[in-house]
Homo-oligomer: A and B are copies of this chain.
Amino acid sequence: MPTMIIKNVNILTMNKNKDIVENGVIVIENNIIKDIGNEELLNKYSCGNIIDGKNGILIPGMINTHTHASMVVFRSLGDDVPNRLKRYLFPLEKMLVNKELVYIGAKYGILEMLLGGVTTFADMYYFEDEVAKAAKVLGIRGILGETIVDFPSPDSEKPYGGLEYSKSFIENYKDDELIIPAVAPHAIYTNDKEHLKRAYDIANRYKVPMMMHVAEMDYEYNNCIKEYNMTPIQYLDSIGILDERFISAHSILVSDKDIEILDKKNVGISHNVGANSKGAKGVAPIIKMHEKGMKIGLGTDGPMSGNTLDIVTQMPLVGKIHKLANNDRSIFPSSEILEMATIGGAKALNLDDEIGSIEIGKKADLVLFETDSVNMQPIYDYYSVLVYSANPSNVDMVIVNGKIIVKNKILVGDNNTQKELINQLQIMKKKILDIANKL
């Protein structure tokens, strides 16, 4: 028996053929998509819970393949400062990051993601248990990995404490319905060869994802060439840790040869176009990766780098920046950009059997855009409207794992979470400013 039917929606399935069902109906049973079709389905199934989609646009839940959600507590601090990382971020993290900050920040960031249509996010930070707790409270899907670094960090007095943390985190969450634990060494410039291999061994033993910042920084690239006479990708390949479970965040400074390696090893790519451009880091050559059919998803990076956590605002940037960088207005048509935001992200995270498209048998992770706002009309091309006109405030309803989390643009059955969180952020802001003003 269906638990929910949504009618009067224009469904962008994002299946292999990119089928579109106009004036469509979708039938959900518990957490699974049971049927997709036109109005005739309303005769085929009976259900007490029929939702009118009001001629909106229904897409698969969007996937944020790389972020550090809790950093939202620092958002708008130190933007445009050249040495921001060392001047602000590292000292602030050292002095302030604790379980409470991570929990409140994660909850806030997850709320923003849900309201903006993100149903799955990949996160790496400190105290990921707190992020997992926040994810479960709000009902979002998360791929979560404790950051591993070669220096004392908020979660560990000793270097590489993240390795031990990861093991127990994986044990705790390996059978969770919404959380997929992961291993997350920070980068090659904060992890030596031996510990990268240990991280890989953990990921391999538990068959969990491994996420890492790769080929993002010029000093990362230059030092790698200097020390090993190899690019970061070639170095990672040489130590044997690239495989289909590896998620390579950023991947900006990659050569054609690097792309061949990434393709051969079936590595997932998290493309963070907003953060990469704001940070003046360069344009990842994803057009070449896309032509090879590689697994590419979109990410926001942390909100000190990319500010917003939704994927809607990443989409127009993908089009604009790559068209510009490649001097070709026809590359990355909107449908391919929405593909990266949904099924591409699912592929990058190896979750495309379960999520990323609207297909019978897949998990019901769905996002409904209203089409009543001025910016959402006229509609000659659904993809173009979503990519070039929509903003996260046009997201009307969000379903994760068959459960309605957001309806009429607010969190279902919850009038206080948002206000409470904003208040908590205000209190935290005072503490943060006290310290930041002395830096």
Contacts and interface: CB of A to CB of B under 8 A. Distances in A.
A378 B426 contact: yes
A330 interface: yes
A76 B324 contact: no
Please give the count of copies of this chain that the complex contains: 2
A385 interface: yes
Interface in A176-232: none
Contact of A279 (B78, B115, B323): B323
Contacts of A385: 76
B324 A282 contact: yes
Nearest to A317: B320
Given A279-B329, A334-B79, A391-B391, A274 B320 contact: yes
Nearest to A108: B374
Interface in A215-269: none
A111 interface: yes
A288 interface: no
A373 B436 CA distance: 25
A327 interface: yes
Interface string A310-332: 10010011011101101111101
A388 B79 contact: yes
B321 A321 contact: yes
A31 interface: no
Nearest to A83: B330
B378 A73 contact: yes
Contact of A80 (B84, B108, B329, B389): B329
A65 interface: no
A76 B274 contact: no
Given A278-B329, A320-B277, A320-B278, A76 B381 contact: yes
A273 to B, nearest CB: 8
Contacts of A74: 380
Interface string A371-405: 01111011111001100110111100000000000
Interface in A277-292: 277-280, 282-283
B374 A418 contact: yes
A93 interface: no
A415 to B, nearest CB: 13
B76 A384 contact: yes
A75 interface: yes
Interface string A78-98: 111110100000000000000
A270 interface: no
B77 A381 contact: yes
A84 B323 CA distance: 15
A112 to B, nearest CB: 4
Contact of A308 (B330, B332, B375, B433): B375
A158 interface: no
Contacts of A333: 79-80
A72 B374 CA distance: 10
A20 interface: no
30 contacts: A75-B378, A75-B380, A75-B389, A76-B380, A77-B380, A78-B380, A79-B334, A79-B388, A80-B333, A111-B374, A112-B375, A116-B375, A277-B321, A277-B323, A280-B324, A280-B326, A280-B327, A280-B328, A307-B316, A307-B389, A313-B391, A317-B317, A320-B321, A321-B321, A373-B393, A378-B425, A378-B426, A380-B429, A391-B391, A393-B394
Given A74-B380, A280-B324, A391-B392, 8 more contacts: A79-B333, A79-B384, A274-B320, A280-B326, A308-B375, A308-B389, A313-B316, A380-B436
